[in-house]
Structure 1
């Protein structure tokens, strides 16, 4: 009995020391870390307001449904939109023409989300929504395809001002 109690007490004490050691590492201020790279934007962010994610998701839902003009109501009057081999800076209305032409090539579009994150950068007073998802579509010829996306979207005053689509093309294993 004494051996069992001693063993149990030893396990509890070791566990407490291990937990205390791990928790103390979580409280290291980031400014005391020596990062091998510097960021242009900064790493001082906090969880952002999820209403910003809703703005972005509402745009994407309307895109899936084929309602480009309705979706672009979530954009500011002037916007930057970038994607794979594409850069646009101009009015929301001109972007609508470009996106409508692209969406018209597709019969169906589906978006399968892994997750999203809303981050607020107090130093910049900026909120970014990052989304991870796979888009699958069928074009007018019946061909099906998909891309993996990581989108970074800057939202200001409830409107999308910058939309960056970052895509990964799937490579055939053949």
Structure 2
């Protein structure tokens, strides 16, 4: 009789644990769904349009990467095919809008200062605003080069490129020199 009682007690305990686990998983699933669909995140800072971005078009990524690859290979003419007629550029100490011809002259001067250049791409991301008005591609990469005098150096770069109608219309570049 004692053995039969222990057998039933063990069975009851086992079934209670199994049911409780199932209920817990379902409650967790419901809780997770509710959190993602109804919870408003209170960020420590505010901006006009939080969480405003969706995944962008891979064609924009191809445009940004092709422009950079052409520049890396020393083909400024090819690189400029991906830019619009007027481009807003922001680099350290430079913030202006210029016609494509002026940007081409600037890029040609810069690229002629290098004997060789190598880009190792780390990552990229293409995004589009939820209202479909703004499209950006961000590139993260390391660039190594040898200048015309034989000096070698490298830096990490982040390029934010705004695209409109399949052309780059803005280029923001952030640089961290490596030591």
Give the TM-score category using the shorter length. 0.7 to 0.9
CA-CA distance at 1:11 after TM superposition: 3.0
Instruction: Using structure 1 for the length normalisation, give the TM-score.
Output: 0.84
Cα offset for 1:5? 4.5
Secondary structure of 2:98's match?
strand
Establish whether residue 79 from structure 1 lines up as the match of residue 87 from structure 2: yes
Query: How much has 1:6 moved relative to structure 2?
Result: 3.8
1:138 aligns with 2:146: yes
Where 2:90 maps in the other structure, the secondary structure is strand
Q: Larger radius of gyration, structure 1 or 2? A: 2
The structure 2 residue matched to 1:24, chosen from 34, 58, 61, is 34
In the alignment, is residue 46 of structure 1 matched against residue 67 of structure 2? no
CA RMSD of aligned residues (A): 2.2
Aligned partner of 2:106 in structure 1 is: 98
Aligned counterpart for 1:12 among listed residues 3, 17, 22:
22
Instruction: Determine helix, strand or coil for the equivalent of 2:122.
Output: strand
Alignment partners' CA distance in 2, 1:42 and 1:162: 22
Displacement of 1:130 after TM fit? Answer: 1.3
Report the number of matched residues. Answer: 169
1:56 corresponds in structure 2 to 64
Q: Distance in 2 between matches of 1:62 and 1:41?
A: 35
Unpaired segments ≥5 residues, structure 2:
1-9
Q: CA deviation at 1:7?
A: 3.3
Structure 1 Cα separation of the partners of residues 156 and 53 of structure 2:
25
TM-score, length-scaled by structure 2: 0.82
Residue 157 (structure 2) aligned to one of 117, 127, 149? 149
Q: What CA deviation, in whole Å up to 9, does each residue of 1:114-133 have, x standing for no partner?
A: 22111111436111111222
Over 3 Å counting, the alpha-carbon distance change for 1:52 and 1:11 in structure 2 is same
